[in-house]
A and B are shown apart, each in its own frame.
Chain A
């Protein structure tokens, strides 16, 4: 029974994927079907996101019911409280109302931006310690590129634009970095195609058995 279900799930994935792929190649014949399947998938993706939020609530709700007192219970309580209040406020006021925008601007923007600001300190710290951990020609090349791009990205204070730095930065971004990025993009595309084909052949089953 288990095996039959597993094969059934794989057949569903393969059938749906093949129909959509054929829709790309034969738009006149299978275009409508492809549109319908993609539309359904988009709505189901929203359900998947909802599922994630439900799971988040369940996990933190379960943490609240544990008998042992700990700081984790307080954190979970804060999370659930802010979630409920947000749902109430945005749900009543609609997502594009003043209060919804205020909520996002007051809570989400400062926290996320501050996290990014802390990241700046961490990145500088890790870059400055790279050579002490790994003295290799690629590390030297990497750090040299970083320093040159940083210095060439904007004119320097009290000095102004240094032509050689900005030219070097432009050359690095438009020639070697372009080549490397293009190679990476081609590799990523090939990998995505290979992974997709594996799913459509039933070899990989990321949805489970």
Chain B
């Protein structure tokens, strides 16, 4: 059997394997069992193996070995040195970080991890500030922007009510997470200020609605997967047995 024939058989074989794996995982509805665990461990092995190869190709091969090879083949020593100067420090850092794999040497890799965490923290701060905080605050503040209001008077009332609703909802949702309490008499249960308490209660309602929409979305995505699996199973049965 040559490669082309093997390629032709790949789809049916793949379909059968997929069929078996689908049933093994769906058996979890009855309860945890041996077949389900085998399927999960196969999945983890394949996913990890693919990730390891992707890292090798995308990082080591594409960003380290290949540039050096190309520069070497081009015959430019100065370029090679520049590439090495660019690549070598990070390779050394990466190798240094791999000491974390050993329990005895784990402490040695902490400085590299600290560098990674520091850069990551700064990136997250920049993104949160310029990507979410400022634009969303501006959007909340501009919710009652009359320039964005509809021209139709009938729709204007609806727009206005909705805008107030959005504004109140945003502020009360934020106030729900304010947990500061007032100084209290010894022995009494500490409570929030009544104004914040009432704001938090309204925010609680908005959060309940938001989480309800979240839940419905997750359920819908899961139902699509269920439908997709049902369709797959039927297609395999159809192709093999019918």
Contacts and interface: CB of A to CB of B under 8 A. Distances in A.
The answer to whether A and B assemble together is yes
Interface of A: 5, 8-10, 12-21, 24, 37-41, 43-51, 53-56, 58, 71, 75-76, 78-87, 90-91, 94-95, 98-100, 102-121, 123-124, 127, 138-139, 141-146, 149-150, 153, 172-173, 175-190, 192-193, 195-197, 199-200, 205-209
Closest 7 CB pairs of A and B: A179-B169, A183-B173, A145-B212, A86-B49, A82-B45, A180-B210, A13-B118
B129 interface: yes
A118 B26 contact: yes
A86 B119 contact: no
A105 B225 CA distance: 15
A21 B118 CA distance: 10
B52 A87 contact: yes
Contacts of B98: 47, 50-51, 54
A160 B134 CA distance: 42
Given A17-B118, A83-B48, A179-B165, A95 B53 contact: yes
Nearest to A144: B212
Contacts of A143: 212
Nearest to A14: B118
A187 B113 CA distance: 27
B216 interface: yes
Nearest to B178: A187
A104 B114 contact: no
Contact of A21 (B10, B44, B52, B122): B122
Interface string B191-225: 00000000000011111111111011111111101
A172 to B, nearest CB: 6
Contact of A199 (B45, B89, B117, B211): B117
A108 B46 contact: yes
B12 to A, nearest CB: 11
B196 to A, nearest CB: 15
B90 A44 contact: yes
A75 B37 contact: yes
Contacts of B7: 98
Given A56-B48, A75-B38, A108-B43, A12 B118 contact: yes
Residue in A19, A78, A187, A200 whose Cβ sees the most chain B Cβ within 10 Å: A78
Residue in B39, B139, B168, B204 whose Cβ sees the most chain A Cβ within 10 Å: B39
Contacts of B29: 118, 121
Contact of B22 (A41, A114, A193): A114
B116 to A, nearest CB: 5
B125 A197 contact: yes
B238 interface: no
B83 to A, nearest CB: 13
B139 A182 contact: yes
Contacts of A102: 10, 14
A149 B216 contact: yes
A186 B125 CA distance: 13
A105 B121 contact: no
B117 A177 contact: no
